[in-house]
Each structure stands twice: as structure tokens, then as C-alpha cells.
Amino acid sequence: MPPGPATQAKHPVDQTLPPLKLITTGLQHVAAMYAGVVAPPLIIGSAVGLSVTELTFLTGASLFLAGIATLLQTLGVWRIGARLPFVNGVTFASVAPMLAIDKSEGHEDALPVIFGACMVAAALGFVLAPYFSKLVRFFPPVVTGSVITLIGVSLMPVAFNWAQGGDPEAPGYGATKNIAMAGVTLLVVLLLSRFTRGFVKQIAVLLGLVVGTLIAVPVGITDFGALSDAGIVGFPTPFHFGAPQFALAAVVSMCIVMLVSMTESTADMLALGEIVDRPADEKTIAAGLRADTLGSFISPFFNGFLATAFAQNIGLVAMTRIRSRFVVAAGGGMLILMGLCPVAAALIATVPQPVLGGAGVVLFGSVAASGIRTLARADLGDDSNIVIVAVSLAVGVVPVAAPDFYDVFPGSARIILDSGISTGCVTAVVLNLLFNHLGRRRRGDPGDAPVPEPRAGEVTAEQPAR
């Protein structure tokens, strides 16, 4: 039956789906971002010397808070939440500073100091959100296209690392069977995408993960140990590791991380807005940043860390073309359930890293392809725009192509420099200002005069491309 007038009037982002489709597509988002959510607490928990039980507790707390932050972002409350299909989780940008805090404060006080610093940084970010969102006017298609492409390119090493096994220190990392399993999963996703249609095609990634996991069982790379050790019910007790403590150096470092996180979230919202055909304006970005920072403020109360947007899920939206924010909200509900039910989290954890890597190639490549599509709408016949794209991409891939490039810089500077998305984004914005705004006005060359008012359907620097 064709949709009624009410359904037709709704933007695809605001449309609901049948329950089965809602659950399966939401599960795809959880599977795509699960490894990214649990990795930071596993790294930090191991560094501060937590027991296996406490490590499981910390991981469950991160899942629980990721679900809360995702619901804030997708469903929204008041002026909080971008109301886009946006997944939130622990930001990797905070890992290095938190490890540094552990070294300076000691294992016993590390987590309370980290939680205190996160609370202050999140409060600062919430206050700055409406001002930070004004940067959207400096994101024309040449900038957004460069940043979206860079997001996809920067995520590819994550997929390749998963394909090799996920842990470079583990035995068998990079083994042929790992890479072969990634290839099999990629092949399954490609075949489903090519030869199926409708609902099956839309959940090709989820089916690829299921088929890959089943094939991985006889290969010997599927670990079901987490299922036997997981409890049925668990709740992240507030301040389980002690009341928050506030150290100036830790607060400053986490505030820097928050600014980096806000920059990446802004870029991610612009990217997602392009993909779902609802460009993120200043109001949307401000609301999205408020959701990020409010989720980050609540997180330490339940033993979690700073929350931010997960770029890898943008690739899933781009590939499946399922734009409903309620799908991601369903995924957020599943994350909350997994945080309260460790055995459910352990079930998702059985998906081997190489299988995730095979799916990641498609997901992250889809993000880069979306960026290229946006760049096609920019005026690349203009030499200035070519320079902007070339330099911003080059600067952004430095941490990917040469991971040790910034090792000589202070740790505080590396928080920003080691984030290729942030450095590339800032570079693109600055160069766009130099070449397309400040420089043209200063030179006063008729050939460099501002572009005339666009005809209907064209895109201006003040309005992201649809």
C-alpha cells in the first residue's frame, strides 16, 4: 500500500520503520560501532590496573552512556540533539590524555581525576556550543567535501587494522586467515548489495557480519569466551571508582580534547546532513553539540568518558540509504540494554575483528565517496578551490600516512595534531577564508570579485550543498 499523505509529508529522517526493520537496521549500527565504544575503556581500564570484573563494569558503563547520548542526539530534548541518525560513543581523542593523567596521578586516583576533568570540559563545551556552531558559515561545499572525504580516508586504517586482527600485540595478527575472513565478509556484502534488493539489500552489512561470524567459527577466530563469563544483569553504579577529583592540568588537557571533539562532531554533522539530504545549519549544529556535551557531562557520573559522534556510522547511512533517525535511536536503546545486560554485550562482541574489517572497507569507503560527490558540486575549475582541497587532504592524512610525524611536538599539541579530521578541517576552513574571502577583498581584482547571486538550485558558501 502506498504511503499516505502524512507519511509523504515527512522527511525520510523523521519517518519510522516497521518493528522488524527498525530492530535489524538498528542492530547494524550497533555492530558497526561496538568495537569503537569498548576500545577506549578497555585501554584505559587496563592501563590503570583494573581487574577483569572492574574492566567489564567500565565497558558496560561506556555502552550504557553511549546509548543515552545517542538517544539525546537522535530524539532530542528541547534545544538538545541534532535529530539526525547520529550515533554517539567514547571519543578516541581522549585516550592519550587519559593515559597521561594516569601516569601523572597514579593508578589509584587516575579515574576520579579523569572523571572530574571530563565534567568540567563537558560543561565548558555546553556553554560554547551556540558560539561554536556559528562556524557553519565557513563550510561551503569545497570545505565540507574535503572534510567528508578525509573522514572516510582517515577511517580506512581502522578497517585494515580490524582485518588483520585488531590487536597488533596479539599472536596471529596479520595472519592469512584473518585477511581471508575480511575478504570473505567483504565479498558477501558486495554480493548482497549487487544481487538483492529491498530490505535484504538494506541490511547487507548485518547479514555479512552474521555470515562472516558463522564462517569464522570453523576457521578458529571466533571467541565465545566472553559469553560464559558475562552476567545477565548489571548496572553502572554512580561514582563506582570514587568521587570526581579536579586537577588543573587534567582539566586543561580534557578541555582541549573537548574542542577537538566539537570540531570533529561539527564536520560529522555536516557530512551526515549532506548524506541524508537535510543540510546541518547553525541551529542543528548547536543542538547536536549540546547533546554531545550534555552526554559527556552525564557520563562521568556513571563511570563513562567524553562522548562524541561516531563517523563510521555515517558510512552505514550512506550505504544503506536508510535515513530514519529512529533506526539509530533503536540502536541507542540496544546500547543501553547491553550496558545493563553484559551477556547481550558479549554476544555482539563475538563478531571477530577481521569480519568487522571486511564490512568496514565498504562502510568507510562510502563516507569518502560521499565526500567526493560533495566536491563535485564545488567549483573545482577554480584554482583556489583545487589548492584548498589538495592542502587540506594532505594535512589531514599526515597522521594516517606518517603516524610518527608529530612525535617531536608536546603532548598537548599532539592531541590536536594526531587527529587528521581536526587538522584537515581547520586547514580547509582557514584556506577557504584566505582564498575565497579575505584575499579576494584585499586584492580588489575584478576577476576575484565575490561570486554573483546564484541562480535557483545553485549552492553558495553560506549554504551547504544538498
Q: How far apart are CA 223 and CA 339, in angstroms?
A: 20
CA distances from 231 to 222, 238, 259, 314 (A): 20, 19, 37, 32
Q: How far is C-alpha 60 from the chain's CA centre?
A: 19
Residue 166, amino acid: G
**Cβ 256 vs Cβ 416: under 8 Å:** yes
pLDDT at 126: 95
pLDDT computed for residue 392 by the predictor: 93
- Would you give the DSSP letter of residue 77? B
pLDDT at position 321 is 82
**What one-character-per-residue DSSP string does 154-211 give?**
HHHHHHHHHHHTS-TTSTTTT-HHHHHHHHHHHHHHHHHHHH--HHHHHTHHHHHHHH
Degrees, nearest 5: CA angle 152-154-155: 65
| Mean pLDDT, contiguous 10-residue spans, the chain (466 residues) | 55 87 85 73 75 76 90 90 87 72 77 92 93 80 83 82 84 90 93 81 78 88 70 77 84 79 82 86 91 92 86 77 89 88 70 84 79 83 90 91 86 71 83 80 45 42 39
Q: pLDDT tens digit string along 234-293?
A: 777 888 888 888 888 788 878 877 887 787 788 788 888 888 888 888 899 999 999 999
Q: Is 320 helix (H, G, I), strand (E, B) or coil?
A: helix
How remote is the C-alpha of 211 from its chain's centroid?
25
Sign of CA dihedral 252, 257, 258, 259: positive
Side-chain-side CA neighbours of residue 99 (13 Å): 14
The vertex-132 CA angle with 131 and 133, nearest 5°, equals 90
